[in-house]
Amino acid sequence: MATTTVTCDIVSSDLLGGSNASSELSIASDTKLYQHGTTGTGLEQLNYHRAVIPTGTNFDLIQDSAALSDKANYVYIALKNTDETDYVILSIYDKVIGRLYGGDGGGDWAFFPWSDNTTATGGVDDPSGADSSIEIQAYTHDCEIEYMLFHSGETLLTASDS
C-alpha cells in the first residue's frame, strides 16, 4: 500500500481587510489518496507526464477507460508557461471546467477528483462519442503542462501483434 499526501494552502495578507492583520486569508487542507471503499488503503498506480499542447485543437488529455470508471482517481494539472496571456481550457466532453493561465512565477494549477463516470462505447483508444475524458485546448501559444493521474487501474490496449 502506498501513502500519497496532497496538501493545499491558499493564503493572502491583503485580499481581505487591507492592512488589518486579523483579516488574513488562510485556507489549509490536506488529504491522503485512498482507494474507494477502504478506510485507508492508498492508491498505488500513477501516471506522471510533461507535455506540450499545440494551439488550435481540443485534445483528449486523459482518456476515459472502463477500468477507471466510477473509482477514486485524482488529477493534477499545472501550466508551466510564464506568459500570463497563455492559457488552456480544461473540459470534460462538452462541459467546460475552466481556464488555467500562465504566470511569471509559474502558472495556475488544478487538483481534483475524477470519477470517469461516462465511458464511451468505442474502444479504449477511440476518442469519439460522449465520454468523461479530460480534454485540453491551448490558446495564444503552445502550452507546456505537467499532469498526474493517481488511479485505481486503467484499461491497457491489447497489442496489435499479440
Partner 1 sequence: MATTYATIDITSTDIADNSISVSNRATLTTAGTDTGITETTGLARVKTSSGSNTILLDHGLTSGVAADVTADKSAKVYIRNTNDRGDGTKYVTILIVTREIGRLYGGDWMLIPWSGGSGEDIEYTASDTTETTLEYCVFYE
Judged by CB under 8 A, the chain residues 64 through 103 that form the site for partner 1 are: 72-76, 78, 84-85, 87, 89-90, 92-101, 103
CB-based burial of residue 94 (10 Å sphere; 0-12 exposed, 13-18 middle, 19+ buried)?
A: exposed
* 104 part of the interface to partner 1, by CB under 8 A: yes
In the structure grid, which three cell numbers stand for residue 6, read together? 496532497
Question: Which member of 12, 20, 47, 58 binds partner 1 (CB under 8 A)?
Answer: 12
Signed CA dihedral, 146, 102, 138, 121: sign only: positive
- For residue 155, the 8-state DSSP code is P
Give residues 118-137 in contact with partner 1 (rule: CB under 8 A): 118, 132
Question: Which residue, among 151, 132, 153, 135, has the nearest Cα to 77 in the 3D structure?
Answer: 135
Among 24, 117, 122, 129, binds partner 1 (CB under 8 A): 117
User: In this complex, which beta carbon is closest to partner 1, that of residue 22 or of residue 158?
Assistant: 22
112 binds partner 1 (CB under 8 A): yes
Separation CA 106–CA 78 (nearest Å):
9
- According to the binding rule CB under 8 A, does residue 141 interact with partner 1? no
Binding residue for partner 1 (CB under 8 A) from 59, 60, 67, 110?
Answer: 110
Distances from the Cα of 154 to the Cα of 35, 70, 144, angstroms: 14, 12, 25
Q: Which residues contact 20 (CB under 8 A, 6 or more apart)?
A: none
Closer to partner 1 by CB, 110 or 161: give it.
110
Instruction: Using CB under 8 A, pick the residue from 106, 122, 123, 129 that binds partner 1.
Output: 106
Q: From the CB of 23, what's the least distance to partner 1, in Å?
A: 10
Considering the complex, state which of residue 20 and residue 115 has its C-beta at the smaller distance from partner 1.
115
58 near partner 1, judged by CB under 8 A: no
